[in-house]
Amino acid sequence: MAREIYRKIVDLVIKAAELARSVGIHNILQPGLVKEMIIADILGHELITTKRDADARDAHDHTVLFEYLSCKEGGSGQLDRMFKEPPDKRQESLNRIRRNSKIYFAVFYEANQTKAKVIYEIEPEVMVRETERQLDRSRNDISHVGFSEAWARTNGTLVYEDKNTAVP
């Protein structure tokens, strides 16, 4: 029984990959991409699928960029591979935040991680300050910098809240 379900899931993923390729997305299984699609759809942004760029842009002004962080309830969103040292690499890492007009932090339901519960909008410089604080305290030259939902709630503005109290 489980094998038949797995086969159906794989068939659906193959169909999704074909559909994605038709719009220029070559790796539907790229980590975080499907959640970024969900966030972009909710916020009305245009998804950017290349790995080294921002996550999305304004649908009308492509110079306006956005970064997305996400987690499940009780988790934390993170920026990977942020450099503490050397100084030029640190600034390059911080520019991954600064290049954006806004940062969006989405929390997905633990019981259904395809459904966003809330999304917070965060000013890039606010996130830069917290990132620098964490990097300064890190013992490593390269770190993952984490942000909790409580931090996002305190430092951001709620821009989306799922009104459906029953999570499917």
Q: What are the tokens at 70?
A: 């996400």
Q: What is the pLDDT of residue 166?
A: 64
Instruction: Determine the 3-state secondary structure of 40 from DSSP.
Output: helix
CA nearest 16: which of 28, 8, 6? 28
In this structure, which amino acid lies at residue 42?
I
Q: What is the pLDDT of residue 154?
A: 97
CA nearest 158: which of 105, 112, 101? 105
Q: Running DSSP on this structure, what letter comes out for residue 135?
A: H
For residue 6, the surrounding DSSP H or E stretch is helix 2-21
Q: What is the pLDDT of residue 85?
A: 93
Distance separating alpha carbons of residues 68 and 76, to the nearest angstrom: 12
Q: What is the pLDDT of residue 167?
A: 60
Instruction: Determine the 3-state secondary structure of 78 from DSSP.
Output: strand
- Each residue's pLDDT expressed in tens, for the chain with a length of 168 residues: 899 999 999 999 999 999 999 999 999 999 899 999 999 999 999 999 987 899 999 999 999 999 999 999 999 999 999 999 999 999 999 999 999 999 999 999 999 999 999 999 999 999 999 999 999 999 999 999 999 999 999 999 999 999 876 666
Distance separating alpha carbons of residues 97 and 37, to the nearest angstrom: 19
Q: What is the pLDDT of residue 164?
A: 79
Phi, psi dihedrals of residue 84, rounded to the nearest 5°: -85, -40
Distance separating alpha carbons of residues 96 and 109, to the nearest angstrom: 27
Q: What is the pLDDT of residue 165?
A: 65
